[in-house]
Amino acid sequence: MALLLLRYVSIAAVILLLFRPMLQYQKEQVQRKSIVFAVDTSASMGISDGAGNTTVNQENQMHLQIRVDQVKDKIKTWATKLEKDFSLHLLEFSDQAVKLPELVLAQTLKAEGTSTSLSAGINSTNSLMDGKKKIPTKEIEALFLFSDGQNNTARNPVLDVQKLGIPIYSIGVGTGLKSSSSFKDVQTSDIRVPERLTYNNKARITAGIDAVGLEGRTVKVILEEDTTFASEPARGKKNETPKITEPVNPPDSATVKTRRKIGEQELMLDAIDGPQDVVFEFKPEKVGRTLYIVKTEPLGDEAIKENNERQTAALVVEPGMRVFYLEGTLRPEYGAISQRYLAKDPDIEFCAMVQIKPNIFEQQTNIDGFKLKGLPTDQETIDSFDVFIIGDIDSSYFKTEIQEMFVKRIRSGAGLVMLGGYHSLGPGGYGGTPIGKVLPVVVGNREIGQFSEEFLPKLTPDGVASNIFANISDFFPSTLGTASKDGLPMLTGCTRIQTSNPAATIFATCPAIRVPSPGGGEVEMPVLAAQPVDQGRTVVFTGDTTRRWQQGPRAMNQDTPFMQFWGQLIRYVAGREGAVVREAGVSASIDKAYYEPEETITISATVKNADGEGTEKASVSGTVLRADGKTDEIKLASVQGTPGKYTGIYEPKTIGQQEIKVTAKMDGLTLNAPEKMIFDVGRPNMEFDRLDLNEELMTQIADASGGRYSHITTADFLIDQLNRDVTKRKVIEQISLAPPLSFWAIFVVLLTIEWVLRRRYHLR
């Protein structure tokens, strides 16, 4: 009987384990909606709007508290009225938002944040957690946003509000300080500095000085620079990357140890609303990241002295190298220079134009957004280039006034290279023109003609010593003898000239032609000559065509001087004289040196292969060393149509001084960019730029969300309008009738007992 009962129990256990029955029923559940308090704890919330008041009455009693303390008192009062009907949550935010676990912690809040992101306070509601459970936005009755509205980050909070889907009741904290008759203050409200300044060129910085209650007083306005991360420019070899010496750990951006005064002016303060402009002009003396600081000397009766100083950073760079190349016919030299040199030199921005039909030109460029339908006809466009290459195009295409614009740009520091051709130099009618007059040779008349026999340019002693032929002079014959490297194809001819100018330097000649010398007698005809023109240079190269220097050796897998010749010639005429090194390398830059919080950074890199040409076959990445000690990685993508150029976007996660390092990997090599890319996010005392309550922005936030705006002194009516009805919903509860896992152990024990008993008593 006992064995039979044991068997029935075992069968019941098997049924429960196999079918796992469930008991299910409905019940009603009460759900309380949530209220979120988001409190601005940036530094501007730490001021007292009653500063300077000598009397206290009921209306301004609250204003004598600092702003964040006003918020603490309001939350404490509201919490007692709301806690029975709502689940209450607390967020604090400045540049980032933090959820506090208990509402009572509101009393511990301090206004210490370095910037204000209203978007951070708004968007954090999307990820609000109740324990381990995320709170759906539909269960949030309202978000109360306490702030003075001083949003000083790049993001627009109104756009974020529209995506949130929660009514926001924005609570303004503070007053219009400028409207107080007792308030006195001087503020550096603005500093306008170009994001990039050019070394040793005139720069202009404009500061905005705003004053309240101090009209007629005189203040000193001082401009300082901090060149902690700048470097001396490379004299005489301007194309080389400057070496930057700096400490291993960058100092805080507020450091004053390396500050230098570069300007000072006195300003009489007026009573007109709005800032007064103070303009400083100077010439940057170092290349690299430079911090510029404008400050006013404090007056004794100022209410707030933290806003007297404002600073921003800029990048001081070597003058740019933009090349404009013009041809009148689609000849082989155009393709060689534009496609095989300009398009492959990642250090150059260029625009190449060739005439394909009478007065119809085709353009090739790597300059974003640059478009010309014909020859440039205004000084601004011409001034945007540093080097001009004029090929086989007749002088009749250039009006005299346009030629004078080109000459004006050359005299101010640009360079000109004029090439030989059937419609260039003398044959092109340039004799006596404004351009012809600044060339290093006397071009002759239209009938001077061409030399059509093959030859190799013969280097003069000046040519051998020049950086134009650095590391490639062995390919050419010289006054010392024949070329020591064989295989360089000859030029197919050249354009004749009459003679050279006395001020010209001759780098190469055509041995087969003799012309009169400016000093008397005859000399070999110059093929490559240059002369200074005020601050610029002009060069004439009469040869035709260097395309053979690139095609022939490359076809036989031989070394060629083509890229180095043109790279070094262009740098020479641009005043960036130096040898072009044919080796793999990477350089990098960022678009500026100072960013507002939440503003994106554009990182650019240039990668060259072993031949010194731009390559698309590299893997390029950036490492951001954040202000909090952590790192972020960024992938840089190749820019289509511009070999060697890579770019990436990064949004900083922290406030403060940070650094980006760029690395490129290709052909088994790992290359590190030598540049130290230091940048600031935010700046000291940013929170004191604007201290008045921004009611306009706070109202826009409330309106965009379907909520309401109120000042903190009159905001009590808002909580009386909340929907206090609890949400009831039916939920299905389930109780499992299946035994727990321990029941398996009991089942196994029962089977074992039955088996043992049957064995002992010899039962079936």
Is the model's pLDDT at 297 over the cut of 90? yes
- How many Å apart are CA 598 and CA 600, to the nearest integer? 6
Q: Which residue has the higher pLDDT, 520 or 209?
A: 209
| pLDDT at residue 26, as a whole number | 65
pLDDT, mean of residues 252-273: 77
pLDDT of residue 686: 80
Question: Does position 92 have pLDDT exceeding 90, yes or no?
Answer: yes
Segment 616-629 mean pLDDT: 92
Q: How confident is the model at residue 39 (pLDDT cuts 50, 70, 90)?
A: very high
Residue 618's pLDDT is what?
Answer: 92
Taking the C-alpha atoms of residue 44 and residue 174, their distance in angstroms, rounded to an integer, is 10
Query: What pLDDT sits at residue 747?
Result: 64
- The arithmetic mean of pLDDT across residues 556-576, rounded, is 83
Question: What pLDDT score does 554 carry?
Answer: 61
pLDDT of residue 665: 93
- The span from the CA of 68 to the CA of 21, in Å, is 58
Of 348 and 145, the structure prediction assigns the larger pLDDT to: 145
Nearest to 560 by CA among 617, 663, 487, 507: 487
Buried/exposed code over 22-45 (b: 16+ C-beta within 10 A; e: otherwise): eeeeeeeeeebbbbbbbbbbbbbb
Report whether pLDDT(575) > 80: yes
3-state DSSP call for residue 32?
coil
681 close to 658: Cβ distance less than 8 angstroms: yes
Percent of the chain with pLDDT over 70: 83
User: Residue 194 has what pLDDT?
Assistant: 83
**Which residues, including other chains, have CB under 8 Å from residue 228's CB and lie 6 or more apart?**
246, 250, 251, 255, 258, 289, 291
Provide the percentage of residues in the chain whose pLDDT is more than 90. 45
Contact criterion met (CB below 8 Å) for 420 and 496: no
Q: What is the mean pLDDT of the chain?
A: 84
CB 613 within 8 A of CB 564: no
| Residue 139 clears pLDDT 90, i.e. is over it | no
Task: Give the model's confidence band at 734: pLDDT under 50 very low, under 70 low, under 90 confident, else very high.
Answer: low
Please state, in angstroms and as integers, the Cα–Cα distance from residue 197 to each residue in 161, 216, 230, 311, following that order.
Answer: 38, 35, 12, 16
Residue 189 has pLDDT above 60, yes or no: yes
- The residue that leads in pLDDT, 62 or 198, is 198
pLDDT at 326 over 80: yes
Residues 715, 720, 722: CA angle, nearest 5 degrees: 105
* CATH 3.40.50.880 location in the chain: 322-573
In terms of pLDDT, which residue wins out, 9 or 47? Answer: 47
Q: Does domain 322-573 have CATH number 3.40.50.880?
A: yes
Rounded-to-integer distance, Cα 46 and Cα 112, Å: 8
The conformational region for residue 512 under phi > 0 = left, psi -120 to 50 = alpha, else beta, is: alpha
Residues of the chain with CATH 3.40.50.410: 29-176+692-727
- Residues making up the chain, counted from first to last: 764
> Quick check: 475 and 488 in contact, CB under 8 A?
yes
Q: What is the rounded distance in angstroms from the CA atom of residue 290 to the CA atom of residue 635?
A: 27
pLDDT at 660: 94
Tens of pLDDT, residue by residue over 635-657, are 999 988 778 889 999 999 888 88
CATH architecture of 29-176+692-727: 3-Layer(aba) Sandwich (3.40)
pLDDT value at 66 more than 70: yes
List the end-to-end C-alpha distance of the chain, in Å, as a whole number. Answer: 14
Distance between CA atoms of residues 318 and 330, nearest Å: 34
CATH number, domain 585-683:
2.60.40.10
* pTM (predicted TM-score): 0.62
Residue 304 banded pLDDT, cuts 50, 70, 90: confident
- By mean pLDDT, which of 30-39, 97-106, 535-544, 563-572 is the weakest? 30-39
Give residue 54's pLDDT.
33
pLDDT tens by residue, 441-450: 999 999 999 9
- The predicted pLDDT at position 56 comes to 37
Evaluate whether 281 touches 196 at the Cβ level (below 8 Å): no
Q: Specify whether domain 185-317 bears CATH 3.30.1360.170.
A: no
Residue 259's pLDDT is 84
> Is a pLDDT exceeding 80 seen at residue 51?
no
User: Residue 180 above 80 pLDDT?
Assistant: no
Residue type (1 letter), 318:
E
Q: Where in the chain is the domain with CATH 2.60.40.10?
A: 185-317, 585-683
- pLDDT value at position 524? 94
Q: What is the pLDDT of residue 678?
A: 87
544 CB neighbour count, 10 Å cutoff = 24
